[in-house]
């Protein structure tokens, strides 16, 4: 059992990891010590910024949001051309869409042999930006044009298959991607930064699509037409609220994830067929599960996930991408990933962020 002092020490270290590794540009590297994670993702970075915004580093969060805004506005002509082409019924080549990750200077990463078309991060950024502005009473006006570009991009691309949160299965339309877009567009309207009419057409279309094709046995599905679950679906419930977090669909989704992906002592796998580093358990996902538990009155379960995350910090209080020494879904695949890229990424800034978000949600840092 972890004491309040234990959690305060890990929280202080987590904030230090986040702010200490933030680039001068405002970008957050996914992991400063892992070669292929030296980029900044809108998705990961948005949750990292949410943690900074919550726990005493709002200037760090603002710097990240400003970096995102520059990355988008620098590509305004590209976005407008894409939106126009899609409006004409054309399907642009994959390389023409916005990237999912950027260099820390905000440049395209170029051809690094790694797939790059995802839309969920842009929806996540809208949600994180709106939440940060509201929390700190900041002026939304400097972001209005950037938000317009992102909203136009998402309303044009939301129904196009792309890679999921895990940069896999590009031929599918993924539940977590649709939830991220829905959550971001809705947040932009609440912040007064988007035209409600255009946004509501898209969010209603997402809701209809998910209801018709994105459900199985009453729960959200990994992708349209699937009967499997993926732990990234937790974000559709909390924080995005693309389905009612207290409703029957949410309850059934959590139950399916608990059945297939959650270990009794804590920790969450991504999905049943995961082989990445053997298919281990992710502190990031324990954070999402705990966040939802905390919001729905399951405080003891939320604290179990918080303690589980803390239990997998290194002696130096660094959190990994996957927890070592836990049950693997595909243990025969572990070594090939170690041989390819080395031990799993540590510290992962997103892991530290989700720990901070959950700790703050539970009030253990006061």
Catalytic residue, chosen from 50, 230, 274, 321, is 321
CA distance 50 to 353: 8
Tokens of 349: 């800034």
The CA distances from residue 39 to 99, 125, 293, 358, in Å, are 11, 16, 31, 25
Asked if 167 is an active-site residue, the reply is yes
CB 203 within 8 A of CB 236: no
Using CA of residue 12, residue 16, residue 19, residue 22, what is the dihedral sign? Answer: negative
Catalytic residue, chosen from 6, 66, 108, 167, is 167
Catalytic residue, chosen from 164, 230, 301, 360, is 164
CA distance 304 to 136: 30
By annotation, the residues acting in catalysis are: 164, 167, 321
């Amino acid at each position: 059992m972890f004491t309040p002092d234990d959690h305060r020490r890990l929280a202080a270290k987590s904030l230090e990891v986040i702010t200490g590794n933030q680039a001068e540009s405002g970008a957050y590297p996914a992991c400063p010590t892992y070669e292929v994670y030296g980029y900044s993702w809108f998705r990961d970075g948005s949750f990292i910024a949410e943690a900074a915004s919550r726990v005493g580093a709002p200037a760090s969060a603002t710097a990240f949001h400003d970096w995102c805004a520059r990355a988008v506005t620098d590509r305004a002509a590209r976005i407008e051309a894409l939106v126009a082409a899609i409006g004409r019924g054309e399907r642009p080549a994959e390389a023409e869409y916005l990237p999912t990750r950027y260099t820390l200077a905000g440049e395209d990463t170029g051809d690094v042999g790694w797939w790059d078309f995802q839309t969920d991060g842009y929806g996540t950024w809208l949600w994180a930006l709106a939440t940060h502005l509201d929390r700190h009473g900041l002026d939304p006006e400097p972001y209005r044009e950037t938000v317009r570009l992102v909203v136009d991009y998402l309303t044009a691309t939301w129904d196009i298959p792309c890679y999921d949160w895990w940069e896999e299965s590009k031929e599918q339309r993924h539940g977590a991607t649709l939830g991220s877009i829905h959550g971001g567009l809705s947040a932009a309207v609440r912040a007064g930064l988007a035209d409600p009419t255009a946004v509501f057409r898209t969010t209603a279309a997402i809701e209809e699509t998910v209801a018709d094709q994105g459900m199985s046995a009453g729960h959200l599905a990994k992708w349209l037409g699937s009967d499997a679950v993926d732990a990234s679906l937790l974000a559709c419930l909390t924080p995005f609220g693309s389905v009612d977090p207290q409703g029957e669909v949410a309850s059934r989704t959590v139950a399916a994830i608990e059945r297939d992906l959650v270990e009794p002592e804590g920790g969450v796998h991504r999905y049943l067929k995961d082989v990445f580093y053997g298919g281990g358990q992710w502190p990031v996902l324990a954070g999402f599960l705990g966040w939802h538990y905390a919001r729905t009155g399951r405080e003891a379960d939320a604290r179990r996930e918080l303690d589980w995350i803390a239990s997998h910090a290194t002696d130096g209080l660094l959190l990994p991408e996957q927890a070592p020494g836990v049950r693997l879904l595909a243990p025969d695949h572990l070594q090939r990933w170690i041989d390819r890229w080395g031990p799993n990424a540590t510290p992962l800034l997103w892991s530290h962020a989700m720990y901070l978000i959950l700790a703050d949600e539970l009030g253990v840092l006061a």
